[in-house]
């Protein structure tokens, strides 16, 4: 009798876990698909040629004392962006990525364009569309957060929900695999 009761309890637990697993999967399918797809693309970023991310070009020197001031480099980068892409391009700077060892400063703008400039001469090395940044912002929901101007709250909620869902999937998935094995083992004894 005690074995039968324990087996029923185990079967009930497995049914509950299966239901939680199924409902969570169905509810968050689109988000899991988006995370998987963008994660795959980001994993290939460095090996995609210039499709997702461009290579870092080399400047003339890595000696910072020979570099132009950052304000001058930024001004040049904004000018290059306007002249190369469009005079209507946004010059709202997102960040500056200094690659001292390569002698280059990368200026990344909010509209997903990047300008690489020789740190010492201010010469334009490369202008490109930063697709990987766009994909990364899709991956972590920053894109929606920036569009709705919610100061990071959508990204925070999204990452929390998706992290908890992944943890829930891991636990319920393990139990859906292990539970029947355990039931079979207890039935044989």
Per-residue pLDDT tens digits for 121-175: 999 999 999 999 999 999 999 999 988 989 999 999 999 999 999 998 888 888 8
Answer with the one of 129, 148, 175 that is the final residue of a domain: 129
The answer on 124 and 75 residing in a single domain is: yes
Given 110, 129, 148, the domain boundary residue is 129
- Report how many domains make up the chain: 2
- Total count of residues recorded for the chain: 189
Judge if 181 and 141 occupy the same domain: yes
In which domain, by residue range, is 26 found?
Answer: 2-45+137-188
Same domain, 99 and 155: no
How many angstroms separate the Cα of 5 from the Cα of each of 156, 175, 188? 43, 19, 15
pTM of the complete model: 0.74
CATH number at residue 74: 3.10.450
Q: Are residues 103 and 61 in the same domain?
A: yes
In sequence order, the 6+-apart residues with CB closer than 8 A to the CB of 118 are 59, 60, 103, 104, 125
pLDDT tens, residue by residue, 65-124: 999 999 999 999 999 999 888 766 667 899 999 999 999 999 999 888 999 999 999 999
Quick one: CA dihedral 72, 75, 81, 83, positive or negative? negative
Closest by CA to 161, choosing from 40, 53, 34, 66, is 34
One domain for residues 115 and 86:
yes
Per-residue pLDDT for 59 more than 70?
Answer: yes
Residues 114 and 150 in one domain: no
pLDDT computed for residue 87 by the predictor: 66
Pair (74, 40) in one structural domain: no
């Amino acid at each position: 009798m005690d074995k039968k009761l324990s087996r029923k309890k185990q079967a009930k637990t497995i049914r509950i876990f299966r239901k939680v697993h199924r409902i969570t999967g169905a509810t968050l399918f689109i988000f899991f698909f988006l995370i998987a797809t963008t994660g795959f693309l980001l994993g290939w970023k460095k090996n995609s040629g210039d499709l997702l991310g461009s290579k870092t070009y080399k400047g003339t020197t890595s000696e910072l004392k020979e570099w132009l001031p950052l304000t001058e480099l930024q001004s040049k980068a904004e000018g290059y962006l306007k002249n190369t892409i469009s005079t209507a391009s946004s010059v709202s700077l997102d960040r500056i990525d200094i690659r001292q060892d390569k002698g280059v400063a990368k200026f990344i703008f909010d509209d997903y364009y990047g300008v690489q400039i020789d740190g010492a001469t201010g010469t334009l090395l490369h202008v490109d569309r930063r697709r990987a940044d766009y994909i990364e912002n899709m991956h972590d929901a920053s894109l929606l957060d920036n569009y709705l101007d919610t100061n990071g709250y959508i990204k925070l909620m999204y990452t929390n929900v998706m992290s908890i869902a992944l943890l829930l999937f891991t636990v319920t998935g393990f139990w859906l695999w292990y539970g029947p094995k355990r039931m079979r083992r207890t039935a044989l004894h």
